[in-house]
Amino acid sequence: MRTRRDVYLNDKPWEEALAEYLQHLAAKGALQPGTPEVIPTEQALGRVTAEPVFAQISSPHYNASAMDGIAVDSAITFGASDATPKRLQLGDKAQVVDTGDPIPPGCDAVIMIEDVHFVTDDVFEITSAAAPWQHVRAIGEDVVATEMILPANHTVRPVDIGGILAGDVGEIKVHPRPRVALLPTGTELVQPGTELKPGDIVEYNTRVFGAMIETWGGEPMRRPITIDDWDQLKNTIMTAVEEADVVVINAGSSAGREDFTADLIRELGTVLTHGAAIKPGKPVILGEIKGKPVIGVPGYPVSAALCMELFVRPIIYRKLGSTPPPPQTTSAIISRKMPSPMGVEEFIRVKLGQVGEKIVATPISRGAGVIMSMVRADGMLRVPRLSEGFRAGDTVTVELMRPLEEVRQTTVIIGSHDMALDVLANHLRRKFPAASLSSANVGSLGGLSAIKRGECHCAGTHLLDEETGDYNVSYVKRLLGDRPVVLVNLVYRQQGLMVAKGNPLGIKGLEDLTREGIRFINRQRGAGTRILLDYRLQQLGIDPDSIYGYNREEYTHMAVAAAVASGAADAALGIKAAANALGLDFVPVVEERYDLCIPGEFWDTPYITRLLEVMATSEFRQQVAALGGYDLRDCGGVMYRQGI
Amino acid sequence: MRTRRDVYLNDKPWEEALAEYLQHLAAKGALQPGTPEVIPTEQALGRVTAEPVFAQISSPHYNASAMDGIAVDSAITFGASDATPKRLQLGDKAQVVDTGDPIPPGCDAVIMIEDVHFVTDDVFEITSAAAPWQHVRAIGEDVVATEMILPANHTVRPVDIGGILAGDVGEIKVHPRPRVALLPTGTELVQPGTELKPGDIVEYNTRVFGAMIETWGGEPMRRPITIDDWDQLKNTIMTAVEEADVVVINAGSSAGREDFTADLIRELGTVLTHGAAIKPGKPVILGEIKGKPVIGVPGYPVSAALCMELFVRPIIYRKLGSTPPPPQTTSAIISRKMPSPMGVEEFIRVKLGQVGEKIVATPISRGAGVIMSMVRADGMLRVPRLSEGFRAGDTVTVELMRPLEEVRQTTVIIGSHDMALDVLANHLRRKFPAASLSSANVGSLGGLSAIKRGECHCAGTHLLDEETGDYNVSYVKRLLGDRPVVLVNLVYRQQGLMVAKGNPLGIKGLEDLTREGIRFINRQRGAGTRILLDYRLQQLGIDPDSIYGYNREEYTHMAVAAAVASGAADAALGIKAAANALGLDFVPVVEERYDLCIPGEFWDTPYITRLLEVMATSEFRQQVAALGGYDLRDCGGVMYRQGI
């Protein structure tokens, strides 16, 4: 039996694997569009023509007046001029017409009504001659019968429907939408909405795949969950191969299961590739059964989505006689060091923001299991196979997952996490539909460093000066020197110990953290909350090493709160709003000030003025207050300014 | 009563008219999204969130193994190293887990199966300690319960569906699709598929509008045609205002009718603007009845589509809590002089092609009635209100109507028209799905001039040297000097007189064109066919002025054939294929050679090699031959080359 190590030794660059795969499928006829469907032109939006569309009639189908006016035989107008006006009488060779009316027999031109002076009811005067065919829309001016309106393999747009109907073509032949069977497999999977037990995994991948396939022009066929049983899965695959044009097997999350799927495909057909040199998405299986593409997509949602994009999308487009449109890209500056393993092409989700002249890309979670990293991403950055990654300041090309214009309208805030920022983001979008707020959580010190490097429009910071008891100012001076900057208060907030509902361990303060059997979970170095903890521990004379879990770090208030809520930890220092959100008890430690630090160059820009406008609204203030543990007495107020 | 002149004196810049209109509508509450709809998350693709979506559960909702391996209490692994391997026994503190399995109570880390050496069935050895929480996906790593997954006013993408379901949210609130009533009006309108009489106009505009509105996220409600009757139209509008959120009245093609519509809207509500400073689309009406937007859109299809884009699209997006995405643009070089009237913003449809380093924009028909100008366009060029147009060589910004990547893959051919080019375009797209052919018909001499100016990859040319009887070579030498160039034959073709079926006037040759009562229609100056005609007339000693219609010019074979087919002319010189297409009789005059002239710099590029590949296929040759009047004996053969 082969081990996984053997398989992965053969990892191919994904482009090579894809090219080989498409070549194999093409040779089997598996990429040919299906038998054309005849559909009414009116329903053709987004469909792809299977044959060229030819005009049945000319448009206009008669010589038509292009103006309101008088149709004339141009010959009778010759000689008219300002000096020698000509009087004409309505009759066979001079008839009133509206725009769109047929040119009467015997006439060959139209005089605009504005250029006519009626002397009596049926006698008029003109002061210039009509050129033959002036203001006449000749037959076929738009489309001539038999002319090609659309070529084959053209995706029908709204105006195309007009062109086709102008040629009097009521039905057209289009490629059928490729049917893609989506097979979720795994004993641990449950349908959304099921009451969850530990170990249950909500099956949402095939819902994402289905929406992708619709977007690409295919027809998803989602199948029930198949448990990990050789015969059942084999039957499911065989039925799917009969019914669909393409089969996607979503392998669940177990690495062992991918071999299972690969062995099954191998029994029923051919495995072209098992394992491509990509991260995430490495265990992808490219197979073929009875002339149909069968793709094994790994279970982690980010790996899965990526494999769909890389390997399934080109098949759908090929079966529609087309190729996938290339992604929109932008060039951007990397905000921090981004190492990446040699030998695989890594796909890193990034947030983007335009800060000053440059577009800055900041990596977000690389976890293959973190679907929210796709939801939150503005773009995808590829680290080539033979690169070891990027250095801060490198210029890179990023594939856009949001329009660049939206990125340009995004206020980038980097620094400490606070839940009021979510509320701010939401109300910002409501009040200014084109604007948005992108926040990266790297802690208070990280935020000030980001300002220093020119990567954000503002930073959220709550840094206690241990000597003065004041917040933020001394850190700003130390880290940003005399750079022009304004500190605006967002909130005051309660920091305290988040503990399980009912506080079963009776934790009353930081002193209790050293007790035997109490498991703490900490925030990362550089976070204001971590600095606060260290400051208080020092005041209390507590050795951090005496706290179990002091070195276990999470990046947000919600992450540590979730650990406590799940029982993975017994206590964490964090904000009251996070404790409230997850129904935890809260032991207050201190009220602290949370400010936005705004560099002078952005102070008067919409990036900031929009935020201040939203912060001034009562809707925003009420919703933040309702989270609990907040005081908005100085919200929007300038706490400090230098150089501006 | 006001005259049209009065109204148009007030023409506003369209941005101003739109801004005033939106302000008025906002004050009336007409831009507010409707009451939110609750829909299943699985059906949310493309819908817009009406409220933020918050996670109901954390994901993962339990601490999960991130690997296949052994879950352990990390404490029991301390001390293991290469030098001091540690033996452990399976039990409470060391349990086999698969990826996704819950971490058993008492365990806090996972050792990858690859790092484990089993000594017996239940005893294994490790050579390094496990760090607490290694290879564990902590609760909430992806989403934490109560966390915001999506803000309000967000358009749902495939990955978002995954994020929402990961948070166990089965239904979400979305903005209802704005319902847009589409009212076609005009006594001359008939439904597609009707047997057409002169004066009938096929009602396809509201089909185009419907597809546009779907694309923008609205729900079109197409209504039957209303004839031009005050009371009927009034009733139709009143009903539509009750039933829909937005009402679009398509005014038919008569200029007089627009006042009719405007007066009706004024009677029922308010007209904010009648006439904007745009071309086409000037007579647009922006009105409001009972707090709902009512827009009168002019009847010509290009005017209509443009008014929908400029005035209706922003309303739909606003009602979805959003703003329209800005168009993709490219910068391009204008290929020829493009005068434009002062005082209006003109919207010119252009073909685009990448020729060498530059993207070249060539204007196509400006007729407001020519829907095919929209179908064929690659981009839209705006000539600002206070500009008189562009000069050849000016750099301009063009809004893309096709992806730039497709434009880059387009072979640009400018010159004489031949129907074999349509066949070539179609087979090119079949064989190379990403490639396309864009042809502009400016006559043979126009094509060679375009090569000289660097605007195309090749030119179609059939220019007879009156002295040698040879084709094209002497013209190439004269116009392109010693520039490297290749002449490749496309076809030989029959030129002759196209006359009505049965040849009722008994036309036997060019000599008959001077007969009394015979109406000729000519090709434009610079067309090879025109040069051929002039050459033959000179040989025959016929004075062009003795031919009625000699000065009436059309730009394509099909256009002159259509004029003959409709009875607007009795004879035209053209190719046999065009006569065949429209069922005309054909009186042969001469066989001529039609070549592609290819500049040396493009000879070895895919722009040309792809064409040559298609020209070599039997499918292409058979289909051209079937058109009639063609001989492909030299098709693809090099007829002449210089400097290469």
Domains in chain A, CATH or no CATH each: 4-32+177-319 (3.40.980.10), 37-59+141-174 (3.90.105.10), 64-137 (2.170.190.11), 336-406 (2.40.340.10), 443-642 (3.40.190.290)
Contacts of A318 in chain B (CB under 8 A): 433
CA distance B602 to chain A (A): 24
Tokens coding B424: 């070539």
**Which of A494-503, B21-30, B327-336 bottoms out in mean pLDDT, i.e. has the lowest?**
B327-336
- What pTM did the predictor assign? 0.91
Give me the residue label for tokens 């700003």.
A476
Smallest Cβ distance to A163: which of B325, B375, B430?
A: B375
Chain A residues 448-507 with CB within 8 Å of chain B: none
Planar angle of CA B279, B285, B286, nearest 5 degrees: 115
- Do the chains contact at A45 and B403, CB–CB below 8 Å? no
pLDDT of residue B254: 57
B227 touches chain A (CB under 8 A): no
Contacts of B3 in chain A (CB under 8 A): none
Contacts of A60 in chain B (CB under 8 A): 201, 369
Mutation choice for B interface testing from A67, A113, A142, A407 by most B CBs within 10 A? A142
Smallest Cβ distance to A153: which of B193, B429, B561?
A: B429
- Do the chains contact at B159 and A371, CB–CB below 8 Å? yes
pLDDT tens digits for range B118-129 = 999 999 999 999
Segment B354-371 mean pLDDT: 88
- CA B376 to CA A55: how far, in whole Å? 14
Q: Which residue of B has its CA nearest to A107?
A: B568
pLDDT of residue B106: 87
Q: Which residue of A has its CA nearest to B47?
A: A211
- Do the chains contact at A158 and B212, CB–CB below 8 Å? yes
Neighbouring C-beta atoms of residue B460, cutoff 10 Å: 25
Mutation choice for B interface testing from A39, A147, A203 by most B CBs within 10 A? A147
- CA A255 to CA A234: how far, in whole Å? 19
pLDDT of residue B2: 40
Q: Which residue of A has its CA nearest to B565?
A: A139
A131 touches chain B (CB under 8 A): no
pLDDT of residue A109: 92
B141 touches chain A (CB under 8 A): yes
- Do the chains contact at A403 and B325, CB–CB below 8 Å? yes
CA distance A610 to chain B (A): 16
Long-range contacts of B21-27 (CB under 8 A, 24+ apart): B21/B272, B21/B273, B21/B286, B21/B293, B21/B311, B22/B314, B22/B315, B22/B318, B24/B270, B24/B272, B24/B288, B25/B288, B25/B293, B25/B315, B26/B318
pLDDT of residue A434: 84
pLDDT of residue A10: 54
Q: Is cis: bond before A544, omega within 30 of 0?
A: no
Collect all residues with Cβ–Cβ distance below 8 Å to A123 and sequence separation of at least 6: A87, A88, A89, A90
Smallest Cβ distance to A322: which of B253, B433, B554?
A: B433
Collect all residues with Cβ–Cβ distance below 8 Å to A88 and sequence separation of at least 6: A72, A76, A77, A94, A123, A124, A125, A126
Mutation choice for B interface testing from A6, A31, A41, A59 by most B CBs within 10 A? A59
Confidence of residue B256 (pLDDT cuts 50, 70, 90): low
Paired with B202 in beta bridges are B190
Tokens coding B5: 């002149």
Mutation choice for A interface testing from B200, B204, B401, B405 by most A CBs within 10 A? B204
Among residues A434, A374, A377, A384, the alpha carbon closest in space to that of A410 is found at: A434
pLDDT of residue A439: 85
- Do the chains contact at B369 and A166, CB–CB below 8 Å? no
A425 touches chain B (CB under 8 A): yes
- Do the chains contact at B140 and A193, CB–CB below 8 Å? no
Whether the CA torsion B113, B117, B118, B123 is positive or negative: it is negative
A158 touches chain B (CB under 8 A): yes
Contacts of A199 in chain B (CB under 8 A): 62, 64, 100-102
pLDDT tens digits for range B365-405 = 778 989 999 999 999 999 999 898 998 889 999 999 988 88
Paired with A94 in beta bridges are A72, A91
pLDDT tens digits for range B602-633 = 999 999 999 999 999 999 999 999 999 999 99
Smallest Cβ distance to A158: which of B215, B318, B568?
A: B215
Give me the residue label for tokens 């909500």.
A202
A154 touches chain B (CB under 8 A): yes
- CA A199 to CA A190: how far, in whole Å? 10
Contacts of A606 in chain B (CB under 8 A): none
pLDDT tens digits for range B567-596 = 889 999 999 988 998 899 999 999 999 999
A440 touches chain B (CB under 8 A): no
- Do the chains contact at B152 and A426, CB–CB below 8 Å? yes
Smallest Cβ distance to B146: which of A170, A214, A582?
A: A582
B568 touches chain A (CB under 8 A): yes
Contacts of B57 in chain A (CB under 8 A): 196
A140 touches chain B (CB under 8 A): yes
A617 touches chain B (CB under 8 A): no
A512 touches chain B (CB under 8 A): no
Based on its alpha-carbon atoms, the radius of gyration of chain A, rounded to whole angstroms, reads 34
Smallest Cβ distance to A253: which of B100, B370, B436?
A: B100
- Do the chains contact at B102 and A141, CB–CB below 8 Å? no
CA distance A357 to chain B (A): 20
CA distance B639 to chain A (A): 29
- State how far the alpha carbon of B37 is from the alpha carbons of A111, B31, B44, in Å: 55, 17, 11
Contacts of A171 in chain B (CB under 8 A): none
Smallest Cβ distance to A133: which of B148, B162, B552?
A: B552
- CA A310 to CA A382: how far, in whole Å? 13
A451 close to A478: Cβ distance less than 8 angstroms:
no
- CA B536 to CA B534: how far, in whole Å? 6
pLDDT of residue B457: 96
Contacts of B98 in chain A (CB under 8 A): 254, 256
- pLDDT < 70 stretches in chain A: 1-10, 252-258
For all residues of chain B together, what is the average pLDDT? Answer: 92
Helix B205-216 with A158-166: angle, nearest 10 deg: 160
B116 touches chain A (CB under 8 A): no
pLDDT tens digits for range B393-443 = 899 999 999 888 889 999 999 999 898 998 999 999 888 888 989 888 888
**What ipTM describes this predicted complex?**
0.91
Contacts of A202 in chain B (CB under 8 A): 59, 165-166, 168
- Do the chains contact at A562 and B58, CB–CB below 8 Å? yes
**Between chain A and chain B, how many beta carbons pairs sit less than 8 Å apart?**
347
Smallest Cβ distance to A211: which of B152, B153, B158?
A: B158
